[in-house]
């Protein structure tokens, strides 16, 4: 099992990068750089490549709709070159609020787009000629375009013909697709004891159709980390974030995170969180997040408890344990966790 963390897209970027460098010395294996509607992830990933030596650098995630498939492939190949083979390409559909509200793109056909983008990226890295016969590019209206487009292949020779691709997925069809065609899966609101109940059938179907040439599916999941006898109150730091996702990340009838909370056995609480959040009562929504959910999604507690959670993640098939150290001794906590992996 490897040790990873997610790099925030908010706050001081340079301070964040220095924190990753410190974590690298403590044993960190993977740094995922998120992208929403702040600074772009690619700039930070390139800077990370220059400032680190060993840690793998992944996008966590780049939305499917904000860049063409060829540009996604170029970006990953460029980062892989600059980092001497440390790139991971994390992809995801994001959501209609960001895709349509921020990027001005149409949020449609996420399954088709995911499958085709993965295929195009792998073709680019193998230096195959790219013709874009599928849903990309979106057809131009009649009479537009120059008619001069022609098949091309990437000019450079990527240092790896296949860069690992991770797919962020929550819905059954998306998870099945990730298990079938991706190198790794990036789940959210991951409680190890509920993995089979929520995603087991989708994972089994995807793995049954998985190509033999692909390596075993990697799973990157985890939560906040703090090790100590008196740190359990730190779980409450999750409340605001969970309230945002369960209550406000999507429309009332189209919120993937709400659905996961319901499947975790908290449908009543999720409905209350959503009602409060959409009414503008964010503090009340945060207070309504069940303590059981906070506990299940974190590695916060005494040494013995954290070791038990580590075993649960391993049992659930997690291969990259993503943690966010929030205790008084974040570096020490990482070093301790590293020694237990």
Q: Looking at the DSSP assignment, which residues form a beta bridge with residue 62?
A: 91
325 beta partners = 225
Alpha-carbon distance of 66 to 37, in angstroms, equals: 11
Q: Rounded distance, CA 244 to CA 275, Å?
A: 12
Please state, rounded to an integer, the average pLDDT across all residues of the chain.
94
290-327 pLDDT, tens digit per residue, is 999 999 999 999 999 999 999 999 999 999 999 999 99
Single out the residue of 82, 219, 51 nearest to residue 158, CA to CA.
82
pLDDT of 145 reads: 60
**CATH code matching the domain that covers 2-228+302-339, chosen among 3.40.640.10, 3.40.1360.10, 3.20.20.30, 3.40.50.10420:** 3.20.20.30
Is the pLDDT reported for residue 141 higher than 80? no
Instruction: List Cβ neighbours of 212 (8 Å cut-off, separation of 6 or more).
Output: none
pTM over 0.85: yes
Q: How do 56-59 and 2-7 pair as beta strands? A: unpaired
Closest to 194 (Cα-Cα) out of 321, 313, 322, 319 = 313
Helix (H, G, I), strand (E, B) or coil at 173: helix
Cβ atoms of 78 and 142 closer than 8 Å: no
The domains of the chain are located at: 2-228+302-339, 232-297
Percentage with pLDDT > 90 across the chain: 87
Check whether 78 has a pLDDT greater than 90: yes
- C-alpha 230: how far from chain center: 30
What residues are paired with 70 via a beta bridge? Answer: none
- For the segment 86-101, what is each residue's pLDDT rounded down to a tens digit? 999 999 999 888 899 9
Which residues face 220 on adjacent strands?
320
Q: What is the pLDDT of residue 137?
A: 53
């Amino acid at each position: 099992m490897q040790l990873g963390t997610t790099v925030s897209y908010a706050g001081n970027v340079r301070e964040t990068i220095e924190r990753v460098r410190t974590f690298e010395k403590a044993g960190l294996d993977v740094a995922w750089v998120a992208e929403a509607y702040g600074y772009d992830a690619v700039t930070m990933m390139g800077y990370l490549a220059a400032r680190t030596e060993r840690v793998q650098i992944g996008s966590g995630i780049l939305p499917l709709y904000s860049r063409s498939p060829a540009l996604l492939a170029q970006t990953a190949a460029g980062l892989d070159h600059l980092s001497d083979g440390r790139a991971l390409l994390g992809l995801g559909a994001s959501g209609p609020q960001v895709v349509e509200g921020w990027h001005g793109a149409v949020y449609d056909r996420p399954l088709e787009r995911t499958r085709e983008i993965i295929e195009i990226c792998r073709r680019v890295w193998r230096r195959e000629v790219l013709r874009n016969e599928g849903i990309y590019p979106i057809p131009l209206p009649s009479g537009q375009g120059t008619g001069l487009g022609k098949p091309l292949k990437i000019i450079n020779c990527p240092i790896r013909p296949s860069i690992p691709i991770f797919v962020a997925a929550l819905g059954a069809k998306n998870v099945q697709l990730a298990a079938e065609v991706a190198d790794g899966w990036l789940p959210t609101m991951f409680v190890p004891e509920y993995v089979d109940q929520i995603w087991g059938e989708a994972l089994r179907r995807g793995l049954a159709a998985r190509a033999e040439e692909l390596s075993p599916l990697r799973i990157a999941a985890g939560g906040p980390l703090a090790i100590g006898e008196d740190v359990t109150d730190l779980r409450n730091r999750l409340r605001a974030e969970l309230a945002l996702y369960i209550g406000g990340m999507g429309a009332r009838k189209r919120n993937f995170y709400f659905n996961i909370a319901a499947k975790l056995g908290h449908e009543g609480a999720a409905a209350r969180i959503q009602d409060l959040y959409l009414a503008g009562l964010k503090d009340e929504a945060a207070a309504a997040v069940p303590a059981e959910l906070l506990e299940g999604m974190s590695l916060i507690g005494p040494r013995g408890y954290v070791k038990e959670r580590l075993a649960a993640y391993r049992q659930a098939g997690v291969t990259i344990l993503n943690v966010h150290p929030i205790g008084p001794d974040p570096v020490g906590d990482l070093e301790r966790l590293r020694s237990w992996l």
